[in-house]
Amino acid sequence: MILRPSKSIISTLLRRCYSTVNDIILPKTRNIGIIAHIDAGKTTTTERMIFYSGKTKRIGNVDEGDTITDYLPSEKERGITIQSAAITIPWNENKINIIDTPGHADFTFEVIRSLRVLDGAVTILDAVAGVEAQTEKVWKQSSNLNLPRIIYVNKMDRPGAGFSRTVKEIITKLESRVVLCNLPYFETSKDQEFQFKGVIDVIHGKLLKWKENDDEGKIIEVLDFGPEQYEMFANARESMVETLGEYDESIINAFLETEDYTKIDSQLLDEVIRKATIDNFITPVFCGSSFRNIGVQPLMDAVVKYLPSPIQSAIPEIKSKKKQVPKKMDSKGLIFNNDHNLTVGLAFKVMTHATRGPMAFVRVYSGKLSASSNVVNTRTGKKLLIRKLLIMHGDAPEEVKSVGAGNIAVIPGYDTEFQTGDTLVSTGKKSVGSLESTLKLMPIDIPPPLFTSSIEPHTAGDEAHMKKCLDVLVREDPSLKVHVDEEMGQTVLSGMGELHLEIVRDRLINDMKAKANLKEVAVAFKESFVKPATKVEQEGLKISVSHVENCRDYEGVDGANIFEDENNVIILEDSAASEFVSTSLKERRWKCTNTIEDLKEAIINGCLTSLQMGGPNLGLTINSTLIKIESWDAPVDQAEDLIPTLMHAARQSIQQLKTTTNFAVFEPIMKTKVYVNSADLGEVSHDLTQRCHAVILAVEDESLQNIEVANWAVEEAERIYLPPDYTLSSTKKRDLSNKKIIIAETPLKEMIGYLSKLRASTQGRATFDMSFIGMKRVSGSRIDSITKNS
């Protein structure tokens, strides 16, 4: 039997795609992200999904630079994903909203903000490389959000591809229970080489073979098994039933009725796999070769069958300054504050389109976002008119009248009114009330930038355009920071990594035509106050300055103004106003031309300006500093503008404390894990401690990081059925206790270029990953070398 979509079906899909896909009901909607290590095949897989849905008439390829989701010039040139891209496709009368995310660690913020608004994810693995470092990182990020996932083992056509070896790594490294929904099918060529031709469908008991002369991968032969394939199917089905039976007794009952694993109803298996996936009890595993157009359609079926709709996903946290906000889910989506007309959305991404200009991507959680209606940005309190509403198909926008709950909309036309993490509310024709205007969905964490590079315009006349371009880039990517070093007269860019800043340079110079030079990338050192809390007084202003570890500890503190970019806090309580100021207000003797709110803002701005002027050691940005205004006074019985006076007093108060003894240089410290064989342990440890100035915290057996989980993973990997895999033979001979993990704290500066050195010293056997811990004081002889290089 051959499955070949008819022309009428394809035309119907195309019509549905462009006219009614936005009207598909919520239970038939899926919001998914494609996540993986770099080069696992995320974009290639996404392009096939778009093509098979009928959205495009030809398949886009990364190597040819004609993909839908990688549309930036830098993405096409480098063949990597830099910005997450959204696209909506139809599939079997369902709608799939897809976000294709980057795989490189420098663009981890793109993954963070995408995962924040998704209901499920497809994790793609390279069958040759297996579970890689960045895969573990994005898996952990999605686990923290409790996202249900499907795994797709890609590149099964490549020499060295190991399906069973990769599945073992999924269990042991990702600590996940799996069910194998399909298995790879190989045929032997004339030269006795295995060729990947299709998959064994474990659910329906059929062999799916992609026709050889079909370059588009649309013709699938549905065949009965031969003896060898049937044995693999029967063993995999038995293993699947045993795993699912631990979750749902209906599977056990179905088996007891037939006492034959192969005769259990496929519909029942689908239902239980769906429930177990949504509960994160299991992860369904599929395989294929996206580049060879094999295995993508079953993956798309799995997205619809096993991943949750918006009404089955976790209810997001929402806060209000006024009171606790009731929330519930019904068939139409989330309902906040028992108001069916209340629309709540989260702006999770801002970008500038080549022809449409600025755009804000919004996940709609409740109600319906409509064109020609007003929304309130609860961060700013501003009411904004949505003139047009779009849904995106990669780089191509499509105008729509409205977007319902559980979907992703795009609001064009506003340059500066939206930021990543803004909560938007609308109540239809009614005005937004006091409660609704203070609603805030859970914020999106922005990781601190770790690398810096100064940028200079070619001429003074080029500076205005350069700054305008930088403003656009920072709006699009909040993990990119820009500040001006007043003392050095330089504009400094800070980003997540060397590649991150390199891409910024390319976009500035090549795409935006800014005439500027970027200097060599360096690690972002900071300065911070290190003495015990110290008080100073200036012109009626009493200020206390101290060190702070985490600015978020002051969330909810009365009068706290938190500046997360540099981990700084400025506290100005209402009670800090002098008795004279308070009495003047009470007795209505206030003659000052400024309001008390204006004066308080002037004090905060004065403090902030002083912090931004840099520290006394190297003129570096001031970080992790707490300023508390103990008290302030003003001659409010005089009718004059006091804002300049208070700003100057606040700025000068902090400037008094800027001595080299009060402040010290701080640097970013990373938690580094190096995965190495025992034979290389000594050399790698010595290199870390001596050359990289690392502090080694522990050396652990890779299989013994968590004894209980490790034991479970080993038992689980042995228990489940895995099909024959010649790459497993080398794994069996490998002593797992021979694999070590060096856990260390390392200065980021010393880890630049570490991967090439590590590979050279271990013949390519070792890998490592890093995560940011925080800023720590630079001490010892290292301060001299840093001072010389700064």
Residue 394's pLDDT is 65
Nearest to 272 by CA among 298, 300, 241, 299: 241
Q: Give CA–CA dist 155/593, Å, rounded.
A: 70
Q: Give CA–CA dist 543/249, Å, rounded.
A: 66
Residue 325's pLDDT is 80
Residue 735's pLDDT is 44
Q: Give CA–CA dist 572/558, Å, rounded.
A: 8
Q: Give CA–CA dist 362/351, Å, rounded.
A: 12
Does residue 526 form part of some domain? no
Residue 722's pLDDT is 92
- Look at residues 397, 423, 441 and tell me which one is the last residue of a structural domain: 441
Report the run of H or E that residue 701 belongs to, with start and end. Answer: strand 695-701
Domain residue limits at 381: 318-441
Find the distance separating the first CA and the last CA of the chain, reported in whole Å.
Answer: 70
Does residue 509 form part of some domain? yes
> Can you tell me whether residue 236 is helix, strand or coil?
helix
Does residue 501 form part of some domain? yes
- Look at residues 441, 466, 490 and tell me which one is the last residue of a structural domain: 441
What CATH number should be reported for the domain holding residue 682? Answer: 3.30.70.240
Contact in structure between 237 and 720 (CB atoms under 8 Å): no
The answer on 228 and 190 residing in a single domain is yes
The answer on 501 and 422 residing in a single domain is no
The answer on 633 and 554 residing in a single domain is yes
Residue 386 DSSP code: E
Q: How many angstroms from the chain centroid is the CA of residue 238?
A: 37
The answer on 43 and 127 residing in a single domain is yes
The answer on 552 and 639 residing in a single domain is yes
Q: H helices then E strands: how many in the chain?
A: 20, 41
Tokens in use for 399? Answer: 């105008």
What CATH number should be reported for the domain holding residue 362? Answer: 2.40.30.10
What CATH number should be reported for the domain holding residue 634? Answer: 3.30.230
HSE-up of 307 (CA within 13 Å, CB side)?
32
Could you list the mean pLDDT of each consecutive 10-residue stretch along the chain, which spans 790 residues?
A: 44 45 84 85 88 80 52 52 72 88 70 85 93 82 90 95 93 91 90 88 95 86 92 95 94 91 94 96 96 95 95 84 76 83 89 80 91 90 90 78 89 88 83 80 78 83 88 85 68 80 84 83 85 89 92 88 89 90 80 83 92 86 92 75 85 90 90 87 92 90 62 82 80 52 90 81 79 83 66
Looking at residue 627, its amino acid is: I
Q: Give CA–CA dist 611/625, Å, rounded.
A: 9
Residue 15's pLDDT is 40
pTM listed for this prediction = 0.73
CB neighbour class for 425 (10 Å; exposed up to 12, middle 13-18, buried from 19): buried
The answer on 509 and 410 residing in a single domain is no
The answer on 103 and 216 residing in a single domain is yes
Does residue 282 form part of some domain? yes
Q: Give CA–CA dist 74/82, Å, rounded.
A: 8
Nearest to 182 by CA among 277, 286, 278, 70: 286
Residue 12's pLDDT is 44
The answer on 143 and 276 residing in a single domain is yes
What CATH number should be reported for the domain holding residue 489? Answer: 3.30.70.870
The answer on 13 and 142 residing in a single domain is yes
Q: Give CA–CA dist 47/509, Å, rounded.
A: 29
Contact in structure between 330 and 312 (CB atoms under 8 Å): no
Tokens in use for 525? Answer: 């050192």
Does residue 525 form part of some domain? no
Residue 622 DSSP code: B
Number of CB atoms found within 10 A of residue 95's CB = 26
Question: Taking CA 350 as the corner, what is the angle to CA 347 and CA 355, rounded to the nearest 5 degrees?
Answer: 130
Nearest to 604 by CA among 638, 639, 573: 573
Number of CB atoms found within 10 A of residue 185's CB = 26
Does residue 477 form part of some domain? yes
Residue 278's pLDDT is 96
- Look at residues 270, 286, 312 and tell me which one is the last residue of a structural domain: 312
The answer on 675 and 609 residing in a single domain is no
Q: Give CA–CA dist 473/674, Å, rounded.
A: 34
**Number of structural domains the chain divides into:** 5
For residue 660, give every residue at least 6 positions away whose Cβ sits within 8 Å of its Cβ, in sequence order, or none.
Answer: 616, 617
Contact in structure between 599 and 543 (CB atoms under 8 Å): no
Does residue 341 form part of some domain? yes
Does residue 49 form part of some domain? yes
The answer on 339 and 283 residing in a single domain is no
The answer on 259 and 203 residing in a single domain is yes
Residue 639's pLDDT is 61
Q: Give CA–CA dist 124/285, Å, rounded.
A: 10
Contact in structure between 669 and 747 (CB atoms under 8 Å): yes
Q: Give CA–CA dist 370/426, Å, rounded.
A: 9
Residue 17's pLDDT is 45
Query: How far from 2 is each of 8, 196, 787, CA to CA, in Å?
Result: 17, 19, 71
